[in-house]
Structure 1
Amino acid sequence: MSEWYRKDLAYIHDVGFRSYVLRAMPGILAILKQHGIQDGLIVDLGCGSGLSAEELVRTGYQVLGVDISADMIEIARCRVPMAEFQLGSLFKVEIPDCNAVISISECFNYLFDPDHQTLTQVFQRIYDALAPGGVFIFDIAEPGQLTSATPVKSFTEGEDWIVLVEKQEDSQHILTRRIITFRQVGNDYRRDDEVHRQQLYAAAEIATMLQQVGYQVEIQRCYGQFALPNAHAALIARKPMSNL
């Protein structure tokens, strides 16, 4: 489970790329309240470094966070000792009975598990775990992340780190990110490389899968006041109170 978001990238993501989660959480908390979910267990799939779990615990929820990165889980456990965290794939983890499931920052797009279950199978397992009236809140990246087939290169830097990213989207709607990190260790900088691949999905396609399972579905382009980036969508999937 150590192939992705290893120690340096996990650290850089936590300190340098936390704004997405922190800006999304007020809207997500509002959605939970709108659906009458005031307390109980929230399962956070792809929980990363525990930023979302921290906000949920502060609001009074119980939290189970799941992530495929051991280094992310280590940060999360230190940040939110009141929450429970489990190392594992969101495509394979056993989901306990809960009031809501959330997954922030396009986690379902990642192709980290070559033999993972289909999305419909995962959506069904989440549906079965949710209490009647429970909600499943997550966002996805859609096709059109890049405007051409030409790779796009960028860099971001912090006080003791720099990350270089090359992105390319192919005709099969696979987005590939080549990520090179440099992190200061003493007087030197340590380099690490990772390659992340994502399958991009149209929001309408995902909504249809959810509806086939039995959810009532809304597609949004924001979490409250936080507008999602271009070619991203949030899906709010509610399990009906009853089948009547």
Structure 2
Amino acid sequence: MNKWYKEDLAFIHDDGFRDFALKSAPGILEILAENKIHDGLVVDLGCGSGLWAQELTKADYHVLGVDISEDMLNIARTRVPNAEFRIDSLFKTNIPPCNAVTSIGECLNYLFDPNSDRQTLVQLFHRVYNALTPGGVFIFDILEKGQVAQGTTIKGFTQGKDWVVLVEKEEDQEQITLTRRITSFRKVGEHYRRSDEVHHVRLYEATAIANELSGVGFQVETTHSYGQFLLSKGHVAFIARKPVGVAVKMSSKALHWAKI
């Protein structure tokens, strides 16, 4: 599981790229309130270092965070000791009955799970739908096609205190994937330590995803912002509501959460 977002990149992501989670949080909390979800369990798929989980617990929600990176979860457990965190693939993990499911920061695009494909994504939609209480919401965002012009490479870097990260991005329009080659340098003691990771993400069309969600039974709304926080070009957020009056199945294994 610890193949991606290893120790140094997990630290850098938490330290230098936290704005997305923190600036999204107020708008997502507003969405929960608008749907009369003021408490109970929220399952956060791709929870990372727990920044969004921390905001949820501050607002008196219970949190189950799931992530594939052990090093990300080490940070999350320290940051939010009163939340529960689980190392697992977000496409395979058991989702207990809950009032909301979130997946913030294009997590559903990632191809960390070798079995991840369009069918697996739709299966996840079904599992989320079955886990949500009537009136519950599924809030997530995705990247669409067109992030990088065909045949070109985008290069950039970001630096912080005692670290720098370099990223190259290329898009394969035939495979409909985006590849990020990431090289990071982090100062440990007197020297800088290098680490390299390659991340592949599948790109989607918002209209197709909305149709899949509707087919599952969700009432779907798309947006290009979380409240006042505008998403970047080609970045679309979804608010998928499970209609009130739809029964939810509760397994005996999930009774722990039902008692919270």
Q: Is this a same-fold pair by TM over 0.5?
A: yes
CA contact (8 A) 2:66 2:89 kept: yes
Query: Which deviates more from structure 2 when the two are superposed, residues 218-227 or residues 146-155?
Result: 146-155
Structure 2 residue aligned with 1:134? 136
| Counterpart residue identity of residue 50, structure 2 | G
Q: Secondary structure at the match of 2:111?
A: coil
Q: Secondary structure at the match of 1:33?
A: helix
Structure 1 residue aligned with 2:223? 220
Structure 2 residue aligned with 1:162? 164
**Structure 1: which 4+ aligned runs deviate by more than 2 Å?**
none
Structure 2 residue aligned with 1:115? 115
Alpha-carbon distance change, 82 to 174 in structure 1, aligned in 2, over 3 angstroms = same
Counterpart-to-counterpart distance in 1, 2:165 and 2:71: 17
Q: CA offsets, 1:129-173, max 9 Å, x none?
A: 000000000000000111342111101111110000000001222
The 5 A counterparts of 1:1-244 are 1-116=1-116, 118-171=120-173, 172-243=175-246
% same residue: 61
| Counterpart residue identity of residue 164, structure 1 | L
Counterpart-to-counterpart distance in 2, 1:176 and 1:108: 15
| Counterpart residue identity of residue 90, structure 1 | L
Alpha-carbon distance change, 82 to 179 in structure 1, aligned in 2, over 3 angstroms = same
Counterpart-to-counterpart distance in 1, 2:10 and 2:111: 18
Counterpart-to-counterpart distance in 1, 2:63 and 2:84: 6
Counterpart-to-counterpart distance in 2, 1:243 and 1:114: 33
CA contact (8 A) 2:111 2:202 kept: yes
Alignment TM-score, normalising by the size of structure 1: 0.98
Cα offset for 1:114? 1.2
Cα offset for 1:115? 1.5
Structure 1 residue aligned with 2:250? none
Counterpart-to-counterpart distance in 2, 1:29 and 1:121: 26
| Counterpart residue identity of residue 77, structure 1 | R
CA contact (8 A) 2:218 2:240 kept: yes
Counterpart-to-counterpart distance in 1, 2:150 and 2:19: 27
CA contact (8 A) 2:150 2:172 kept: no
Root mean square deviation of aligned Cα: 1.1
Q: CA offsets, 1:105-135, max 9 Å, x none?
A: 0000000111136111000000000000000
Alignment TM-score, normalising by the size of structure 2: 0.92
For structure 1, list consecutive stretches of 5 or more residues without a partner in the other structure: none
Counterpart-to-counterpart distance in 1, 2:145 and 2:188: 38
Q: Secondary structure at the match of 2:100?
A: strand
| Counterpart residue identity of residue 237, structure 2 | A
Cα offset for 1:77? 0.2
Alpha-carbon distance change, 44 to 156 in structure 1, aligned in 2, over 3 angstroms = same
Counterpart-to-counterpart distance in 1, 2:137 and 2:151: 37
